[in-house]
Amino acid sequence: MPNILVTGAKGQLGSEIKELSSNIKARFIFTDTDELDITDKNAITSFIVKNQIDTVINCAAYTAVDKAEENETMADAVNHIAVKYLAEVSKDKGIKLIHVSTDYVFDGKNYKPYKEDDVTNPPSVYGITKLAGENALLEITPKNSIIIRTAWVYSSFGANFVKTMLKYGKERDELKVIYDQVGTPTYARDLAQAILDILPKLNNEKPEIYHYSNEGVLSWYDFAKEIMKMAKVECKIIPIETHEYPLPAPRPHFSLLNKSKIKKTFNLTIPFWKDSLSECLLNMGERK
């Protein structure tokens, strides 16, 4: 029976994997910063040896995009150095490794969905540190390891756009939401299920990169409108441009990910974003 370590277990993706893991014949060990400091290589090695870990799913990340602009050292420690250590230990111990990355490694200036081998050019500290983590893993080349880039993640767990819209939508008569940033939301439960489906199929000599989000295309404005519609929240959504809502870290205007590679390689069927949003709202008790 596999012994699977899931880091960042209290986050959206880690929490969804935990929910789904009861259906998998494996021993899962879920850790967060309190249980395992992944910025300490000795701690990683000791934990993996003690628990006879043969698979690592790294969901841990410094995801405070705006705070990262002022806390580059902390963001780099989690998003880059920790990934480097996990890759080194995975290579040394012959462990499978799935690492989760982000669309923020791109600058968002494309005109068609990003493929895995498209040129990266992160404009934010968050994106720069996540790309550094990817590159470290690729350079170390542990076998049976993959990087999955995703985007616009939401869940019934943790803080996210869906919860924020519901909260403020119930408190206010109107909300201003950006319409000139385009992408596709990712329901963390769908990604969690995909990861669990992929695990037994991992068999690659060198690391591979894959893209995963739900199907479809929309703006944050469209997303907010649909959230209110499904939850039957009476709140007017007003479209605004990015420059009208300035933030410390720049966001990509175009975040569409081409998912052909992951679908073909692992025979995955990816749900449409509206279907997944409906399911999430049902789980939250917000679908009306």
8 Å CB contact between 120 and 106? yes
Phi, psi of 201 (to 5 degrees): -95, -5
Rounded to whole angstroms, how far apart are CA atoms 201 and 213? 20
CA distances from 27 to 5, 6, 188, 260 (A): 9, 11, 21, 31
8 Å CB contact between 36 and 44? yes
Q: Which of 85, 104, 114, 126 is catalytic?
A: 126
Is 126 annotated in the active site? yes
CA angle 135, 141, 145 (to 5 degrees): 90
Is residue 195 packed enough to be buried (19+ CB in 10 Å), middle (13-18) or exposed (0-12)? buried
So which residues are the catalytic ones? 126
